[in-house]
């Protein structure tokens, strides 16, 4: 933490389900002095918020907001929305890694990623492999504090219709406490709180927060 005037937080993915909650919690947190949330869409104004419009294919290398204390990433898409595996990989791997490298080069020492249960660079499942490759590549960037928050199914209201996730949500929601803790639905505000805590605590080393801790 910047002892004098609070933490300067960089947040990418602030318009998404989890990112919206990270943003609201960070803006309400007295330990956070300022939030910069680069996005391709407009965010509601707030005195602590700066939200530059960006194209993640052409991120500005010299922006002053790369000089944050901590960064949180909740970027992501679906293969369906992206249109292809390559396009999915660009959003779920290449963009977060580009943000991490620019933030690290700007002096940011702490990074927290919204990853996923099953993230594994050696997985035969494409989605899990991309998430695992991102975790692996982020670990090589050199942050003092790096946290991977790995939810299972995320619970919350989305604008976008995702039939598979909705069906899974109904089944997992009905089974509720009968399920082992790691398979239960992870509410978006709970995931957001874990990401923000990791960003503010800045505990040295690499940390994993599993789905059983996101209930
Ligand atoms: N869905 C699940 O149950 C689940 C489970 C485990 C892990 N996860 C992972 O958790 C993370 C957060 O999930 P979420 O549900 O909060 O995501 P979400 O609601 O879909 O939000 C994704 C964010 O990424 C941004 N984004 C997507 N495509 C982009 C592009 N081409 N260029 C720039 N920005 C782009 C969105 O911006 P716009 O608003 O501009 O689109 C939004 O801010 C994701 O990485 C996801 O893979 C999801």
**CATH number of the domain enclosing 114:** 3.40.50.720
Could you give the percent of the chain with pLDDT greater than 70? Answer: 98
Alpha carbon distance 193, 65 (integer Å): 22
Beta strands in 15-108 (DSSP E): 32-36, 49-50, 70-73
Q: Is 127 a residue of the active site?
A: yes
State residue 52's pLDDT score.
98
pTM, two decimals, is 0.97
How far apart CA 141 and CA 30 sit, in angstroms, is: 29
Look at residue 1 and tell me whether its pLDDT is greater than 80.
Answer: no
* Cα of 97 vs its chain's centroid, Å: 12
pLDDT at residue 195 above 90?
yes
Instruction: Classify residue 52 by burial, with Cβ atoms within 10 Å: 0-12, 13-18, 19+.
Output: exposed
Give residues (CB < 6 A) around ligand 1: 13, 15-19, 40-41, 56, 74-77, 91-92, 114, 116, 151, 153-154, 165
Is 147 within the bounds of a domain?
Answer: yes
Asked if pLDDT for residue 162 goes beyond 80, the answer is yes
Give me the phi and psi of 135, to 5 degrees please.
-60, -45
The residue whose CA is least distant from atom 47 of ligand 1 is 76
Helix (H) or strand (E) holding 159: none
Q: Is 48 a catalytic residue?
A: no
Residues 145-157 have pLDDT tens digits of 999 999 999 999 8
Give the HSE-up count for residue 137: Cα atoms under 13 Å, Cβ half-sphere: 18
197 is a domain residue: yes
Q: Domains in the chain: how many in total?
A: 1
pLDDT for position 161: 79
Average pLDDT, rounded, for the chain: 96
**Pairing state of beta strands 186-187 and 154-155?**
parallel
Give the atom of ligand 1 at the shortest distance from the alpha carbon of 78.
47
- List the single range of 9-13, 107-111, 163-167, 210-214 with lowest mean pLDDT: 163-167
Instruction: Answer yes or no: is 164 within a domain.
Output: yes
Residue 166 falls within a domain, yes or no?
yes
For residue 111, give its domain range: 7-213
pLDDT, residue 159, reads 82
Q: Which distant-in-sequence residues (6+ apart) come within 8 Å of 55 by Cβ?
A: 40
Please compute the mean of the pLDDT values over residues 85-111 and round it to a whole number.
Answer: 98
pLDDT at position 2? 53
Residue 1 falls within a domain, yes or no? no
Question: Does the pLDDT at position 3 exceed 70?
Answer: no
Is residue 113 a contact partner of residue 148, using CB atoms and an 8 Å limit? yes
């Amino acid at each position: 933490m910047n002892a004098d005037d609070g933490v300067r937080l960089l947040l990418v993915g602030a318009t998404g389900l989890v990112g919206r909650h990270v943003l609201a919690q960070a803006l309400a947190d007295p330990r956070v002095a300022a939030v910069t949330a680069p996005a391709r869409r407009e965010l509601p104004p707030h005195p602590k918020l700066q939200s530059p419009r960006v194209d993640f294919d052409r991120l500005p290398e010299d922006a002053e907001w790369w000089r944050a204390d901590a960064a949180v990433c909740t970027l992501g898409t679906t293969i369906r929305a992206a249109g292809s595996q390559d396009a999915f990989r660009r959003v779920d791997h290449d963009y977060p890694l580009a943000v991490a490298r620019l933030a690290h080069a700007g002096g940011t020492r702490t990074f927290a990623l919204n990853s996923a249960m099953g993230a594994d660079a050696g997985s035969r499942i494409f989605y899990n492999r991309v998430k695992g490759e991102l975790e692996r590549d982020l670990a090589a960037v050199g942050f003092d504090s790096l946290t991977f928050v790995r939810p299972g199914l995320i619970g919350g209201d989305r604008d976008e219709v995702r039939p598979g996730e909705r069906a899974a949500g109904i089944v997992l929601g009905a089974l509720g406490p009968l399920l082992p803790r790691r398979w239960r639905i992870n509410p978006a505000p709970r995931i957001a709180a874990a990401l923000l805590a990791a960003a503010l605590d800045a505990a040295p080393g690499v940390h994993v927060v599993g789905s059983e801790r996101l209930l």
